[in-house]
A and B are shown apart, each in its own frame.
Chain A
Amino acid sequence: MTEDRVTSLLIRALAGLSLCGCLLVAQVSAQDSGYSARNPNRTNPTIVLENEMSNIRASNAQLDARIRTAMEKLEEVARLTSEDEKEVEVDSLFFTLRDEVYGVLDQLDLNSDFADALNRAKEGTIVLKSWYERQPPDYPNREQSIAQLERAIQEYDIVDEQLNQSRTLAQEKLSTIMRQHRVILQEMKIGKVLEAIAAARAVVEGLNDITTAMTVVEEKTYQSLKTSVPISN
């Protein structure tokens, strides 16, 4: 093999490897950018907020349906005659509920699109209120609009707090599910089936607190969106 041939092959091989490296850099960069560019729609944060709200509502409805199904399932389990079958059903039910609450937590995440949209909507309202404050005192509806926008800013803070409470609540419920899952399976193993099913029912019923908290977030969000529109001239 000549020296030129060796050089040419070497260049090709290294160029290929370098390309892989560049692609790796690009891929990592793209993943990094996901933190800030999850939802690039900055033109109207309230529209984004409304869309994200419907995602939360869908997640809430799904959890609600799962709770109902789980309750029905527990009724069926109680009627089963095989102890093994009971154990398998309860085990699978707890895994499903756990996944469901993890799904809810993703929606309520501090880094979620909803939290981003909420920030943007509040920021837009602060800037708009400042604009009204700079207008002359006789500007039409100046005072009412400033007061209304100030209320909207407070409402957004309330939504944020409610969102945080829902998140904490969902995390607590998740811990309960994990803790009770083992306890209940243990109870079933030692023949305390009725007690185990009653305990499982209490865990499932407790999940309704999450759906209630999420409904409050939804209501408060719509209230904020309504208040953030200044009074027309």
Chain B
Amino acid sequence: MTKTLTALLAGLLILTLGAAVAQGTRQPDMANLFQKVNRVALELQTNLTDLEASIQASRDSIEQGGRVLDGMLASVTRVQQSMAEDSEIWQELGALLELWEERRKATLERSEANPAFLPIAQAWQQRLETARTLRNQISTERANATALMRAIEADRDIVLAYYELGQADKAIEGLKKVGANLANLNRNMQVIVETANAAQQTPIPQ
């Protein structure tokens, strides 16, 4: 009985301390951040694949038009949430900026005694520049996604009212407008993916 209990409690202890150590030592990683950003962009791109066909197919059906709008709203909401201030992407980027800033400062200090560290400090600086661009791009797209979400929510009833009025062309026009904004968001997400990729590939001299 004592042995079983001891083994159980020891297991619990190892798990608890293991989790603490793992969380304490885990470092932010640009490759990981790139994967996350890429996943969001790919998901948006997939959602847009059949959008034009779906819009045309909804010509005679208010229910289908409503579903297309809901689908578009869900896509934008996912993009917005994945880049929100409490998102993994934003937090990881913040952690990376902090880590890189520390490394740049540390190598700059070491370059005081040994000038060979100077190009390394400059390489960290270059990485920080790219990360800064990424941060600005994500911040802007987060705002654009928020604006688009609000636009879809505000225009939803108007688009559906055109269906009820029998003016499918007007309803389709409204859906296409939202579709164009989504395509724009998609293009900007591709730019963000390119920046994230550039940030992970900036070499640091050894």
Shortest CB-to-CB span from A13 to chain B, Å, is: 9
A171 to B13, CA, bound (A): 46
Determine if A141 is an interface residue (Cβ-Cβ < 8 Å): no
* CB-CB under 8 A for A130 and B147, given A6-B2, A18-B12: yes
Residues of A within 8 A of B20 (CB): 21-22, 24-25, 28
CB distance from B92 to the nearest CB of A (A): 9
Choose among A28, A111, A127, A168 the residue that contacts B143 (Cβ–Cβ < 8 A): A127
Instruction: Judge if B70 is at the interface, Cβ distance under 8 Å.
Output: no
Contact: B139 with A123, CB < 8 Å? Answer: yes
- A122 adjacent to B1 (CB under 8 Å): no
The answer on a CB contact under 8 Å between A17 and B97 is no
B144 contacts chain A at the CB level, 8 A cutoff: yes
Flag if B94 contacts A7 (CB, 8 Å). Answer: no
Q: Is A138 an interface residue (CB 8 A)?
A: no
Give residues 1-60 of B contacting A (CB, 8 Å): 1-2, 5-6, 9-10, 12-13, 16-17, 19-20, 23-24
Residues of B within 8 A of A21 (CB): 13, 16-17, 19-20
Interchain CA distance A119-B98 in the complex, whole Å:
17
Contacting A at CB under 8 A, from B87-104, are 90-91, 94-95, 97-98, 101
Which of B127-135, B163-171, B186-194, B197-205 lies at the binding interface? Answer: B127-135
C-alpha gap A130/B177 in the complex (Å): 14
Residues 142-176 of chain B: 1 if any A CB is under 8 Å from the residue's CB, otherwise 0? 11101110110011000000000000000000000
Size of interface on B: residues with Cβ below 8 Å to A: 48
Distance (Å) between the CB of B157 and the closest chain A CB? 13
Chain A residue numbers with a CB within 8 Å of B12 are 14, 18
Task: Find the B residue at minimum CB distance from A105.
Answer: B105
Interface centre among B23, B97, B105, B154 (most CB of A within 10 A): B23
Interface size for A (C-beta < 8 A) is: 45
Most buried by B among A10, A22, A28: A28
User: Looking at chain B's contact residues, is the secondary structure mostly helix, strand, loop, or mixed?
Assistant: helix
Q: Which residue of B lies closest to A18 (CB)?
A: B16
**Cα distance, A40 to B112, chains bound together (Å):** 38
Contact B91 A127 (CB under 8 A): no
Whether B2 lies near A14 (C-beta < 8 A) is no
Contact in complex: A171, B108 (CB < 8 Å): yes
Complex Cα–Cα for A83 and B128 (A): 43
Which residue of A24, A42, A110, A130 has the most chain B CB atoms within 10 A of its CB atom? A110
Whether A202 sits at the interface, judged by CB under 8 Å, is no
Q: For B135, list chain A residues within 8 Å (CB).
A: 110, 119
| Complex Cα gap A71–B142 (Å) | 47
B82 at the interface (CB under 8 A from A): no
Whole-angstrom CA separation of A168 from B129 in the bound complex? 10
Binary flags per residue of A12-34, CB closer than 8 Å to B gives 1, else 0 = 00100110011011001100100
The answer, yes or no, to whether B111 is at the interface (CB within 8 Å) is: yes
| A134-B154 in contact given A17-B17, A29-B23 (Cβ < 8 Å) | yes
Q: Which residues of A contact B10 (CB under 8 A)?
A: 14
Residues of A within 8 A of B91 (CB): 32, 35-36
- Interface residue from A18, A109, A119, A174 paired with B13 (Cβ < 8 Å): A18
CA distance A35 to B5 in the complex (A): 40
Interface CB pairs A-B, < 8 A, 21: A7-B2, A10-B9, A11-B9, A14-B9, A17-B17, A21-B17, A21-B19, A25-B23, A28-B24, A32-B95, A35-B94, A36-B91, A110-B97, A111-B94, A111-B98, A111-B101, A123-B146, A126-B143, A157-B136, A175-B111, A178-B109
